[in-house]
Amino acid sequence: MFREFQGVRQEPGLRRRWFESSDLDLVVWYAADGTISGFQLLHDTPRGGRALTWSPGLGFSHHAIDAGDRLLGKLSPVLVQCAESPAPDLGARFAAEAISLETALAEFVTARLRAAFL
């Protein structure tokens, strides 16, 4: 089940919400009018992590997460190209965790996952 982080740092012009479960993270960006302007579903984090990002007009992109671990210190994590496709069960994994989200948000993300991957 997703739990929402409180006190998430905000970016100018967008409101950001961040949810975490035992298996996935979901970051959602909202426009000033309250509509969802994008989301990122982070998965496979124990293995280094992947980020499935959706935005209107662009659709989905899938990246690996470079955690920034270096021999001489830690850098900020960044997204890098990923040849792998998202795991085929990602939609089902999200649906299992999404029961704790507001219905409208869960349906929004689920609809985009279904349209793209089923």
Cα torsion through 4, 63, 22, 115, rounded to 10: 80
pLDDT attached to residue 116: 78
Lowest mean pLDDT among 28-37, 56-65, 74-83: 74-83
Residue 63 pLDDT > 90: no
pLDDT attached to residue 70: 63
Q: Where are the domains of the chain?
A: 3-117
Residue 90 pLDDT > 90: no
Per-position DSSP letters for 95-107, written without gaps between them: HHHGGGS-HHHHH
pLDDT attached to residue 97: 92
User: Average pLDDT in the 67-74 region?
Assistant: 66
**Cα separations in angstroms, 89 against 25, 66, 85, 118:** 15, 23, 11, 11
pLDDT attached to residue 41: 93
pLDDT band of residue 83 (cuts 50, 70, 90) is low
Share of the chain above pLDDT 70, in %: 81
Residues forming beta bridges with residue 28, ordered by sequence position: 17, 39
User: Average pLDDT in the 12-16 region?
Assistant: 88
